[in-house]
Amino acid sequence: MTNRLKVLSLLEPLLLDEYLQRDVYDTYSYYLFGLCSPKLQEHLSSHRTEEDKHIKLLQRYMMSLRAAPLLKRLPIPVINPPIGNILFKNLELEMAAVAQYSKAVLVLDALKDPAFVSLKVDLENILIEEQEHVHDLQQWLREDIRSEEAKAAGKVC
C-alpha cells in the first residue's frame, strides 16, 4: 500500500468521528437549552466550533491527497438527559478522539515520510485541543458531582 493510501485510511475514521462529535455537540445542545447555565452552553459551543475546524483541516488534507469528500456520517447516539449523562457521553467521545489522534501521530511518525510532516504537526495540534476538551469536561463533571442539591433538582450546572 502506498503512503498516500495509508494516510487516507488513517484520516477517514478521524474525520468520521469529528463529524460525529460536532453533530453530537449540536444536537445535545438542545437538551441543555434552558436547563443549564449559559456558561456551560457557551463552553460546549466553543468545543463544537473547534470540531468544525478539525473537520475542515482533515477534509482539506484528504482532498489534497485526491480523495472524494466524505459523505458518510455516523448516527448520533440516543441519550437520556440529565446533563451528567450528556457530559459523560461527550467525555467518552473526546477521550476516544485523544486515543485516535495519539495513535495516528505515532503511525505518521513511523512512516518517516517528509511529505506528511505538516500533517503530523497539524494532528498533534488537534490532539492538544482534544485533550483540553477532555480536561474541560472532567472539570464540569466534578462541578456537577459537587452540586448535589442542584442535581436533586435536575439542574446540575
Residues that bind Fe ion (CB under 5 A): 18, 51, 54, 94, 130, 133
Nearer to Fe ion, 23 or 143 (CB): 23
Residue 54 or 156 with smaller CB distance to Fe ion: 54
- The distance of closest approach from Cβ of residue 143 to Fe ion in the complex, given in angstroms and rounded to an integer, is 19
Q: How far is the CB of 150 from Fe ion (least distance, A)?
A: 26
Q: Considering beta carbons, is residue 83 or 137 the nearer one to Fe ion? A: 137
Please check whether residue 135 is in contact with residue 68, taking contact to mean a CB–CB distance below 8 angstroms.
Answer: no
Minimum distance of Fe ion from residue 2's CB (angstroms) = 27
> Smallest gap, in angstroms, from Cβ of residue 6 to Fe ion?
21
CB count in 10 Å sphere of residue 94: 23
Largest CA distance in the chain: 58
Contact 35, 83 (CB under 8 A): yes
- Helix ranges, the chain (H): 3-32, 38-64, 83-111, 117-146, 148-152
Exposure string (b/e) for 80-93, b if CB count within 10 Å is 16 or more? eebbeebbebbbeb
**Residue closer to Fe ion (CB basis): 54 or 120:** 54
